[in-house]
């Protein structure tokens, strides 16, 4: 449902702002640093070490969110609610979204946010006491937030019960489940967690923060080290430590883990026979880290890195190939891949052989033994060998999107990288004889592809060749542009995949959707895409080999 997506985006932007500042001014206020609540050996955490100034954070929030039609989105969602009455979960979600959206409707200034009791750039953290999850966030005004929360709960028809432990009151949001979601407001902080119904006072003291860990993330300096190691900003970073997580599940070191597992009647994993296998896996894949390398008024970049050992990094780096233009943002949109398929097949065979020679021994990991063999068999086929020997990557670039005679049309260039372009033409010629008939030569002029098989309305197609690639152009006004595409420099960032979308692309897409109506696309859908065109100058996403492992990233440049 589009309205749910739009509202969820708005609320997610609020949440992103809430996790983008963890102030270090606690010494002057006497408040406990958020990092002091997080055990140094937590299996996972997401927190921040320095705040973005409140007004800057609010301005960024205002620029990014598609708020112009929030009121119409709420109206549309209200109209949809009768259709959700038979689905208790969907109806509850819709009711909650409406209640939260109504609180955001009147926000026009930072003072409006503060009036709700919220900060735009607060101290905030999400972390594990063992595997037990805890979220805490600094508030601007505790009493104002209590009033806001009560309005939301009342409108959403959520009636929490109250409980007390060690003199501290908290709300219970799910009283009937084996575990209960709890919410508390303590010392100008909002806290949310999931605990067993019969959680002990000792465990609740740790969750609520009256009993701090002996060695915290604040003491260890691990967050600062993580930020420095990956060049993250101080506005939010975290990690999932696979070794700690698996060990916690098999041999709980924190009372929260054991209590939670007992509450859901989960059997403790008996991984004693698997410890060598677990150590083998976690030494090769230590964990997952995430953060932001940029977060300012003009641009933001969010990064997730699957950490691997040096040998895997080296193997992955060898798989990358040089694809002309890969990594650039020329055109209104693009997507490209650079991958040495023959070497990928050899690497898969090498890893499959290693597993055959030294298989995983414990029952829980037997699927890994067969998985490598199955992957090897799936890749080792004539089609892969035929394509892999001739194609080492591609980049598809869109230069324009239009409507011609009532049908979507456009222009762009497809660049096919190859260690043997002539061989690639021969291979492609088996399917498109007209391409082989062009007699392309490296460095030669672009030639038009003419085929009786193409519909009359097909844009003019041209092809050109270099020593390491072939370029195919659709509706290119100047065929010499194909030579420019062939000569475009490749990225030096060891990219496996890269793509981008510009604001112009979203504008063109909305125009096409408006001129070519579809029952599945509403006017509000088109309006939302137009808002993206107004908000974003350019968005990029990529998958690359980092010194620490495989990096998956997304960036957005604002208008």
Which residues, at least 6 apart from 357, have a Cβ–Cβ distance to it below 8 Å? none
Mean pLDDT within 5-22: 40
Cα separation, 63 vs 57, whole angstroms: 10
User: Which H helix or E strand runs over 437?
Assistant: helix 433-437
Q: Encode pLDDT of 174-210 as tens digits.
A: 767 788 889 999 999 999 999 998 899 999 999 999 9
pLDDT of residue 266: 67
Q: How confident is the model at residue 299 (pLDDT cuts 50, 70, 90)?
A: very high
pLDDT of residue 546: 93
448 forms beta bridges with: 462
Asked whether residue 306 carries a pLDDT value surpassing 70, the answer given is: yes
Mean pLDDT within 269-275: 72
Instruction: Give the torsion through C-alpha atoms of 26, 32, 38, 41, to 10 deg.
Output: 90
pLDDT: which is higher, 386 or 73: 73
Buried b (16+ CB within 10 A) or exposed e, 237-253: bbbbbbbbbbbbbeebe
Which range (373-377, 446-450, 540-544) has the least confidence? 373-377
Q: How far is CA 456 from CA 282, 349, 459, 481, in A?
A: 58, 47, 8, 24
Q: How confident is the model at residue 434 (pLDDT cuts 50, 70, 90)?
A: confident
Which range (232-246, 257-271, 504-518) has the least confidence? 257-271
pLDDT of residue 355: 87
Strands 237-241 and 44-47: antiparallel
The three-class DSSP label of residue 518 is coil
pLDDT of residue 72: 73
pLDDT of residue 7: 38
Asked whether residue 316 carries a pLDDT value surpassing 60, the answer given is: yes
User: Percent of the chain having pLDDT more than 70?
Assistant: 89
Distance in Å from the first CA to the final CA of the chain: 27
Q: How confident is the model at residue 126 (pLDDT cuts 50, 70, 90)?
A: very high
Q: Which residue has the tokens 């409140």?
A: 54
pLDDT of residue 385: 63
Output the six-digit token pair for 418: 């190859």
pLDDT of residue 17: 41
pLDDT: which is higher, 406 or 415: 415
pTM: 0.86
Which residues, at least 6 apart from 377, have a Cβ–Cβ distance to it below 8 Å? none
184 close to 169: Cβ distance less than 8 angstroms: yes
Output the six-digit token pair for 334: 């693009």
Q: Encode pLDDT of 538-555 as tens digits.
A: 999 999 999 999 999 999
User: Percent of the chain having pLDDT more than 90?
Assistant: 47
Output the average pLDDT for the chain: 86
Q: Encode pLDDT of 30-51 as tens digits.
A: 467 889 999 999 999 999 888 7
Output the six-digit token pair for 364: 């829980």
Burial class (CB in 10 A: 0-12, 13-18, 19+), 39: buried
Asked whether residue 76 carries a pLDDT value surpassing 70, the answer given is: yes
State CA 11 to chain mean position distance.
16
Q: Which of 473, 423, 468 is nearest to 447 (CA)?
A: 473
Asked whether residue 27 carries a pLDDT value surpassing 70, the answer given is: no
State phi, psi for 436 to the nearest 5 degrees. Answer: -65, -30
pLDDT: which is higher, 271 or 21: 271
Q: How confident is the model at residue 512 (pLDDT cuts 50, 70, 90)?
A: very high
């Amino acid at each position: 449902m589009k309205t749910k997506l739009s509202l969820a985006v708005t609320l997610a932007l609020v949440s992103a702002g809430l996790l983008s500042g963890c102030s270090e001014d606690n010494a002057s206020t006497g408040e406990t640093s958020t990092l002091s609540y997080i055990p140094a050996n937590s299996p996972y955490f997401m927190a921040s070490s320095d705040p973005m100034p409140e007004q800057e954070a609010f301005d960024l929030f205002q620029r990014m969110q598609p708020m112009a039609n929030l009121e119409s989105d709420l109206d549309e969602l209200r109209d949809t609610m009768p259709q959700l009455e038979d689905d208790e979960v969907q109806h509850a979600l819709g009711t909650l979204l409406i209640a939260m959206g109504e609180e955001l409707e009147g926000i026009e200034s930072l003072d409006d946010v503060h009036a709700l009791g919220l900060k735009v750039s607060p101290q905030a953290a999400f972390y594990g006491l063992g595997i037990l999850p805890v979220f805490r966030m600094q508030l601007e005004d505790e009493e104002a937030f209590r009033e806001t929360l009560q309005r939301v709960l009342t409108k959403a028809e959520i009636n929490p019960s109250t409980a007390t432990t060690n003199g501290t009151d908290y709300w219970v949001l799910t009283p009937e489940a084996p575990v209960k979601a709890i919410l508390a407001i303590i010392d100008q902080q909002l806290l949310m967690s999931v605990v067993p119904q019969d959680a002990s006072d000792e465990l609740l003291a740790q969750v609520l923060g009256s009993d701090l860990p002996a060695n915290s993330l604040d003491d260890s300096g691990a967050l600062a080290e993580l930020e420095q190691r990956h060049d993250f900003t101080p506005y939010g970073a975290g990690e999932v430590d696979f070794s700690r997580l698996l060990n916690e599940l098999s041999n709980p070191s924190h009372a929260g883990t054991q209590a939670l597992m007992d509450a859901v009647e989960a059997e403790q994993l008996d991984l004693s026979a698997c410890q060598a296998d677990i150590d083998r896996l976690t030494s090769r894949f230590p964990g997952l880290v995430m953060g932001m390398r940029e977060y300012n008024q003009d641009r933001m970049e969010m990064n997730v890195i699957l950490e691997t050992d040096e040998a895997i990094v080296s193997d992955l780096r060898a798989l990358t190939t040089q694809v002309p233009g890969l990594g650039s943002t020329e055109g209104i949109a693009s997507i490209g891949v650079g991958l040495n398929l023959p070497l990928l097949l050899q690497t898969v065979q090498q890893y499959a052989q290693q597993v055959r020679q030294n298989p995983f021994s414990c029952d829980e990991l037997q699927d890994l033994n067969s998985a490598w063999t199955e992957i090897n068999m799936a890749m080792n086929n004539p089609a892969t060998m035929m394509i892999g020997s001739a194609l080492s990557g591609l980049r598809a670039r869109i230069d324009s999107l239009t409507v011609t005679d009532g049908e979507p049309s456009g222009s762009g260039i497809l660049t096919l990288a190859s260690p043997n372009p002539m061989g690639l033409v021969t291979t492609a010629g088996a399917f498109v004889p007209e391409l082989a008939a062009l007699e392309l030569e490296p460095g030669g002029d672009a030639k038009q592809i003419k085929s009786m098989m193409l519909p009359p309305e097909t844009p003019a197609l041209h092809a050109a060749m270099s020593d390491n690639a072939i370029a195919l152009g659709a509706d290119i006004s100047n065929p010499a542009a194909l030579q420019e595409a062939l000569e475009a420099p490749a990225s030096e960032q060891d990219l496996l995949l890269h793509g981008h979308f510009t604001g112009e692309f979203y504008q063109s897409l909305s125009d096409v959707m408006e001129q070519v109506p579809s029952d599945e696309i509403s006017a509000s859908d088109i309006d939302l895409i137009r808002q993206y065109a107004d908000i974003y100058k350019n968005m990029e996403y990529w998958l690359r080999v980092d010194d620490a492992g495989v990096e998956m990233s997304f960036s957005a440049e604002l208008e």
